[in-house]
Structure 1
């Protein structure tokens, strides 16, 4: 007899979107029609156990995952994108789906590991003066002071409890993305080879997580506010007033020295000087025109010569490695707890996940490692 299984349509849709598959593509992978997959997602049709197994296999999840509704959904006001305004809705859905699954996996990891406490302050700000103060308060909250450059933005956000990863196959569509969940998640672009731009992305996402809690972002106003926060966080106002070169002409050598010291792009430094009225509007326009003509509108001097290597995430990789010591079966076992197999874990973490060793399931195997 053909046993019928009930599928949680939202779970099926979530796994499908995480891969970026269309209804037709999933149907083709299991030998079914687009209409059939749509009916499964809407709950108007059940599937045989064989079909559930096939769907789980091609989507990188377990059959149990497809039958259990996800306990909490991500709301639009919890998601902050930085990237192309013309980004297709399909890409947005794909990133949100992966972020939701990563959030689920991280919550499971926390049942076995002690991760850093989440310590993003809540400082609403909208005016330019409020944003400057919010950036200074955030630096003081994290013990960074306001007089010198930040050594590592990656360490700042990870020490504050955020999980950082990247979605390599989507890096040409997004610059950065963050989710304001119980434990914040920041997704970066793997194509961002410039340390300065990478650091600015992290500071920008910090601005959203600190100033825009409970607000839906993505419009010009909130993006400008996050930009201003990033600039003020990376290069505090008092330090700018002390160190920014002044004069009737642009001192390019001094600006590039500032770039190496503060790890900010020259374009961002120029904007910072303009915002604080240390450059006139005419000087600001002239400086930007010069960068374009010099071929440094996107890739600047020192960006690709090894002088400023990009920062690598550490927290997620360390947590996954620690699971091997904390849990029998390691990361694979924790993935099973939430219904995610190795292919899906690799998709949402951006890291290689070893396949579980079948031999460990044997009753004759004694695990010696703690």
Structure 2
């Protein structure tokens, strides 16, 4: 069978079994509104809406145009419904445009689908996260109490957590970097039918802040199954969880300075390297524990701004913690003679996104 005949069969199959939900997923992955996609294929936005809702089906020529515009293979549209995922926990819904929220959610669906495919061939750790719900009023548990229980659940002894991403992956959480199209969004997390997922910002090239991001998102996954994503209370609770998780009060409290006079900055720098957290996080922790007063804290943050440390702090660690679950699975597939295209064949999923998700280093180039 020659390639042209095979391609014709693929188009025919994709047209016969066209799934509008997958069109919506592909469109959102590309960061396009319906009107933009319609303009690219020279059709009406109403047609795109009808295809996505299932009210109508595109013909074979249109399926080919959609595949080309959205950088997927035609067979992508013939698959089953995309994986079900919860709404992602974003740091701020107000500052996150709807189109970016949709793209981030679709990327979560993509990660869930790829992970499910890999699990058919590669063994992953069982999902093992504590279930420690914290409601907005904190009637039964506080974020700090949840963090203490989580440390005990994970078997973390006294002292700093050595590798946050590895801890999450051992608990069965998929940790990946986001695609360049949503790099403006901070780290976010979501639950899927298969596994919880944490998605990190590849542009945020800071070891110390990245560790706080991972702990923050773990907090959401552990505490906020039913919380409204992006809510101010839930975000503050996740910050408090991360602070206690990374810097237990009964361990770090006696070492935090009451002000930034004398050798306090040197002391803070030592604490930063020992606990693997930012100066900003240490200062915030000192104030939250009542060790540093509001005036001293404000003065410290002014000094941080004057030194340019609000954007980029000094620190010894220059390499990020890296995910290993998906990159390791991809390496296993490659060693078995199954390259990316062969692995994704039949699914129609975009190879470039799989390369980003399963890379051993964050990729921040723009899409070609």
TM category (shorter chain) comes to 0.7 to 0.9
- 1:145-164 paired onto structure 2 within 5 Å: 145=157, 147-164=158-175
Matched, 1:131 2:105: no
Gap regions ≥5 residues in structure 2? 1-10, 362-368
- Closer/same/farther in 2, CA of residues 351 and 337 from structure 1, 3 Å limit: farther
Q: Of residues 301, 308, 315 in structure 2, which corresponds to 1:295?
A: 308
- Closer/same/farther in 2, CA of residues 323 and 46 from structure 1, 3 Å limit: same
State the distance in 1 between where 2:78 and 2:122 align.
27
Conserved in 1, the CA contact under 8 Å of 2:178 and 2:201? yes
- Count residues in correspondence: 344
Aligned match of 1:230: 242
- 1:20-59 paired onto structure 2 within 5 Å: 20-59=31-70
- Closer/same/farther in 2, CA of residues 94 and 263 from structure 1, 3 Å limit: same
Conserved in 1, the CA contact under 8 Å of 2:160 and 2:247? yes
Matched, 1:315 2:325: yes
Tell me the secondary structure at the aligned position of residue 66 of structure 2: helix
Shift of 1:72: 4.2
Conserved in 2, the CA contact under 8 Å of 1:108 and 1:337? no
- Closer/same/farther in 2, CA of residues 104 and 274 from structure 1, 3 Å limit: same
Conserved in 2, the CA contact under 8 Å of 1:59 and 1:344? no
Conserved in 2, the CA contact under 8 Å of 1:99 and 1:179? yes
- 1:1-370 paired onto structure 2 within 5 Å: 5=16, 7-70=18-81, 72-76=83-87, 79-82=88-91, 85-126=94-135, 127=138, 130-145=142-157, 147-170=158-181, 172-181=183-192, 182-246=194-258, 249=261, 251-302=264-315, 307-325=317-335, 329-346=338-355, 349=358
Aligned match of 1:361: none
Tell me the secondary structure at the aligned position of residue 319 of structure 2: coil
State the distance in 2 between where 1:343 and 1:30 align.
22
Tell me the secondary structure at the aligned position of residue 157 of structure 1: helix
- Closer/same/farther in 2, CA of residues 85 and 349 from structure 1, 3 Å limit: farther
- Closer/same/farther in 2, CA of residues 85 and 99 from structure 1, 3 Å limit: same
State the distance in 2 between where 1:172 and 1:70 align.
26
- Closer/same/farther in 2, CA of residues 323 and 83 from structure 1, 3 Å limit: farther
State the distance in 1 between where 2:345 and 2:50 align.
27
State the distance in 2 between where 1:171 and 1:71 align.
19
Alpha-carbon displacement from aligned partner over 1:310-342 (angstroms, at most 9, x marks no partner): 21222111111112345x634434423543142
State the distance in 1 between where 2:237 and 2:94 align.
16
Tell me the secondary structure at the aligned position of residue 186 of structure 2: strand
Conserved in 2, the CA contact under 8 Å of 1:84 and 1:174? no
Tell me the secondary structure at the aligned position of residue 81 of structure 1: coil
Conserved in 1, the CA contact under 8 Å of 2:21 and 2:82? no
